[in-house]
Amino acid sequence: MTSSSVIRQLLPGEREPVHSYQQVTFKQQRMKTTTNMASEFGLMAGQALRVVMPGKVALPGEDSYLQARQIYNGAVEYQPALFALCETVADVQAAVRVAREHNLALSVRGGGHDWAGRSLRDRGLVIDLSKMRRVEVDVKAQVATAEGGATAGDLVAAAAPHNLVGVTGTASGVGMAGLTLGGGYGPLTPQFGLGLDNLLGAEIVLGDGRKVNADAFENAELYWALRGGGGNFGVVTSMRIRLHPLRELLAGIILFPWSEAKSVLHGYADIAASAGDEFAVITNILSGPDGDPVVLLAPIWTGDQAPGKQAIAELQRLGSPILAKIGPMTYSDLLRTFDANFVNGRNYELQTRWLPKLTPEPIRALLDAGS
Ligand SMILES: Cc1cc2nc3c(=O)[nH]c(=O)nc-3n(C[C@H](O)[C@H](O)[C@H](O)COP(=O)(O)OP(=O)(O)OC[C@H]3O[C@@H](n4cnc5c(N)ncnc54)[C@H](O)[C@@H]3O)c2cc1C
C-alpha cells in the first residue's frame, strides 16, 4: 500500500482530518532526523568542549547532567544536549564558540528559577553558571561585583556584614542576573527602585565569544538593553550592583480570616495608594492552617521605627487578625522567612498580571479565585 492510497475523498459534511497518514509519516521522520542530528551535534560539541574545559562538561546519562538539569520548576521537561559547567569567563567564551561551531542553540542557567524553564534549551547547549557565584563588596563605594551565577542569597550574605543591602526579589535562590535582566522587583523596590535601576554595569560575553563591558560610558546601548531586556543579549559574567545602607527593617506577617477578606483587601488598596517609599506590603491569598483560605499581609518598613509601627498598626486594624507577628529584623532574616515557602522541584503553573493600582474589579477576581 502506498501512502497516497490512504488519502481519500472526504464524504459530504465530513471534516478535513488534522493529518493524513502521509503527512504524519513525513512529520515523524523529520522529527526523528532533527532529534538525531541534535544529539549528534551535542556529542560532537561535548567532545570539542572537553578538550578546552576538561571535567566541566555534562552529557545525557551522566550524574552531573541530572544534577545540572534540576531547576525550580519540576514540570519543565526540556532535555538539553549538554551542559557547560563554567567556572571562569574563559569557559563561557569557549562554550559560546563551540555552540556556534556546532550549530547548537544556547541558553544560560543562572539561579534556575525561571518557571518557564528558559534556562534549559531543549536539545541545545546550556551555559551553566551555578559555579560562578562569587560576590565582592566595595564597602566605601557601596558597590557589589557579583558573578553571573550569584543568587540573591549570595548578594545579601556578602553585603550584610557591612550593613548594606541590594535590591533582590523575595527568594534567596533566584539568580541576580536573571532577576535584574528581567527588571527585578522586591521588598526594597519602593525605597531603592527595581533591580535594573541598581545595575551600574556588566561584563558580557557576546554571541561571537568576545568579552565586553557595558555601562553608562562604554557600550551604553547594550547597557540600556540589559536593564529589563531579559537574557538575550549575551552571557552576563558579572554585574556591578549598587548597595544601600540598611541595618534593620520592621517586618512580619499579619493573617486575616477569609470572612474579612473583602474589607481587608479594599482597606489595603487605600493604604497602598497613599503609602510612602519606606513601605512595601506583600499580599497573599493562601490556605490557612485548617485549609480555609486566609489573607496574608507581609509589611516591610525600611524607615524610622516609630512611624513604621504606626503604619503597620493601621494595617492590623483592617480586621481582626488570626495572627500578627511583627518585629525588627535584618534583610537576611526577612528573606529566610519567605524562603520557607519556596520548595524546589515541585510542578508549578504560574501566571502574572501587572496592575497600576488595586481597584474593585481585580479585588473581586481575587476573592472569587480564593473562594
Ligand atoms: C520562588 C520564586 C520567587 C520569585 N520572586 C521574584 C521576586 O520577588 N521578584 C522578581 O522580580 N522576580 C521573582 N521571581 C522571578 C525571577 O526573578 C525570574 O524568573 C528570573 O529570571 C530568575 O532568574 P534565575 O537566574 O534564577 O533563573 P534562570 O532560570 O537561571 O534564568 C532566567 C532567564 O535569565 C537568563 N539568565 C540567567 N542568568 C543569566 C546570565 N548571567 N546572563 C544572561 N542571561 C542569564 C536565562 O537564560 C533565562 O532566560 C521569582 C521566581 C521564583 C521561582
159 CA to centre of ligand 1 in angstroms: 20
Within this chain, do residues 106 and 79 fall inside the same structural domain, yes or no? yes
Ligand 1 atom with least separation from CA of 230: 34
Asked whether the predicted pLDDT for residue 14 surpasses 80, the reply is: no
Our answer on whether the CB atom of 53 is closer than 6 Å to any ligand 1 atom is: no
Judge contact between 107 and 118, C-beta under 8 A: yes
- Domains in the chain: how many in total? 3
256 located within any domain: yes
Start-to-end CA span in the chain (Å):
58
CA 61/CA 43 separation, integer angstroms: 12
Q: Per-residue pLDDT tens for 244-289?
A: 999 999 999 999 999 999 999 999 999 999 999 999 999 999 998 7
Q: Which of 71, 179, 204 best tests ligand 1's pocket when mutated (most atoms within 8 Å of CB)?
A: 179
Ligand 1 atom with least separation from CA of 183: 11
11 located within any domain: no
293 located within any domain: yes
183 CA to centre of ligand 1 in angstroms: 10
Within this chain, do residues 122 and 173 fall inside the same structural domain, yes or no? no
CA 248/CA 327 separation, integer angstroms: 10
Within this chain, do residues 316 and 259 fall inside the same structural domain, yes or no? yes
With H, G, I as helix, E, B as strand and everything else as coil, classify residue 56. Answer: coil
Q: Which of 107, 108, 203 best tests ligand 1's pocket when mutated (most atoms within 8 Å of CB)?
A: 108
Our answer on whether the CB atom of 78 is closer than 6 Å to any ligand 1 atom is: no
Q: Per-residue pLDDT tens for 287-331?
A: 987 889 999 999 999 999 999 999 999 999 999 999 999 999 999
Weakest-pLDDT range from 125-134, 151-160, 205-214, 341-350 = 341-350
- Of 102, 128, 154, which marks where a domain is finished? 128
213, three cell numbers: 563591558
76 CA to centre of ligand 1 in angstroms: 15
Within this chain, do residues 254 and 363 fall inside the same structural domain, yes or no? yes
Q: Per-residue pLDDT tens for 162-180?
A: 999 999 999 999 999 999 9
16 located within any domain: no
CA 33/CA 235 separation, integer angstroms: 30
Our answer on whether the CB atom of 113 is closer than 6 Å to any ligand 1 atom is: yes
Q: How far is CA 289 from the centre of its chain?
A: 28
Nearest CA to ligand 1 atom 33: 178
As to burial, measured by CB atoms within 10 angstroms (0-12 exposed, 13-18 middle, 19+ buried), residue 144 is buried
230 CA to centre of ligand 1 in angstroms: 9
CA 177/CA 204 separation, integer angstroms: 11
With H, G, I as helix, E, B as strand and everything else as coil, classify residue 220. Answer: helix
Within this chain, do residues 108 and 120 fall inside the same structural domain, yes or no? yes
Which residue segment(s) compose the domain that 206 sits in? 135-245
32 CA to centre of ligand 1 in angstroms: 32
Our answer on whether the CB atom of 72 is closer than 6 Å to any ligand 1 atom is: yes
Q: Can you give the pLDDT at residue 37?
A: 54
Q: Which of 99, 105, 111, 113 is nearest to 79 (CA)?
A: 105
Within this chain, do residues 220 and 285 fall inside the same structural domain, yes or no? no
Our answer on whether the CB atom of 182 is closer than 6 Å to any ligand 1 atom is: yes
Asked whether the predicted pLDDT for residue 17 surpasses 60, the reply is: no
Q: Which of 37, 36, 33, 2 is nearest to 20 (CA)?
A: 2
Across-strand partners of 326?
A: 252
Our answer on whether the CB atom of 49 is closer than 6 Å to any ligand 1 atom is: no
353, three cell numbers: 498580571
Asked whether the predicted pLDDT for residue 213 surpasses 90, the reply is: yes
Q: Which of 89, 92, 113 best tests ligand 1's pocket when mutated (most atoms within 8 Å of CB)?
A: 113
Q: Per-residue pLDDT tens for 104-145?
A: 999 999 999 999 999 999 999 999 999 999 999 999 999 999
